[in-house]
Structures are given as C-alpha cells and as structure tokens.
Amino acid sequence: MHPSDKSILIIEDNPDDGVLTMRALKKLNYANIKLVETGSQALDYLYNDETIEKNNHLPPDLILLDLNLPIIDGFTILKKIRSSGSTKHTPVIVLTSSGEDKDINKSYDLGANSYIQKPVDFIEFEKAAVLISEYWLTLNVPPV
C-alpha cells in the first residue's frame, strides 16, 4: 500500500503542533490526514454514524494522540478507542509534551502502542514523524 493510501488521524489542540505534524507527514507523501482539535471532534469523527457516512471513511490506519486536550482528555479518548470494535486494533501513538512517569504508565495501561514526547524543534519533529510513519505504516503488520 502506497503512503497516500494510508489514513492518519491527528488529535491535537495546539494549532502550531497540529500544523507542524501535518506538514511533516505531507512531506512524506501522506495525503489522507485529518486533524481534529478537541476530544469531542475526535469521538465524532471516529464514532458518529452521520459523520462517518458523510465522510465515507473507515477507521484511520494510525492515530496520533495528544493527552492534554480540553474537556475530553487524551486518556478518555484512548480508553474509548481501545473499547470499540472498530478501532481497538488501530495503532495509537501518544505524541505529547508530557514526560511525566504517571502519564507514560497510564497511556500504556490504557493500550497506547507507543509514547513519544514531542520534540521541540522542527528538524527533530520531522525525524520523529519519519520514524513513526516508517514503522507504523510501512513495517508494522496490522491484524486483518
């Protein structure tokens, strides 16, 4: 499957980080990228039947999840993703500014596939995006 065939959902409330993530992934030829800025938008995109039908989409091939979201936090989103039959096997990469042990442990306890502390500068952020996409969207063999 070509990179442009893979879909990525970015759940990120910081507009700068969201744009940075999208820019890095688009440079790698991923075209099917959706950015949502709140937990409720993420849940609507993933589970609202009307939204799914209107957008005519399957669950994403990869989810990049920030933890620090307003109202519905990343932990709640992760819990829902893992409890739903349509998304329980979707790779979820926590991409957040927090390096706190309790956040790392809780993310893995709730089923995160990986936890990455956001790099501060763009070059390092781009490198992280390349590694994430190469592994999770190219090398990794998902369940069928």
**119 — pLDDT class (breaks 50, 70, 90):** confident
Q: CA–CA separation, 40 vs 141, rounded Å?
A: 29
**pLDDT at position 91 over 90:** yes
Scan for tokens 């759940």, then name that residue: 11
Token readout for 6 is 């893979």
**104 — pLDDT class (breaks 50, 70, 90):** very high
Domain ranges within the chain, ordered by starting residue: 3-139
- Mean pLDDT value of segment 51-56: 57
What pLDDT sits at residue 50? 65
Residue 65: name the closest of 51, 75, 52, 57 by CA.
75
Q: Which CATH superfamily is domain 3-139 in?
A: Response regulator (3.40.50.2300)
pLDDT tens digits, 105-118:
999 999 999 999 98
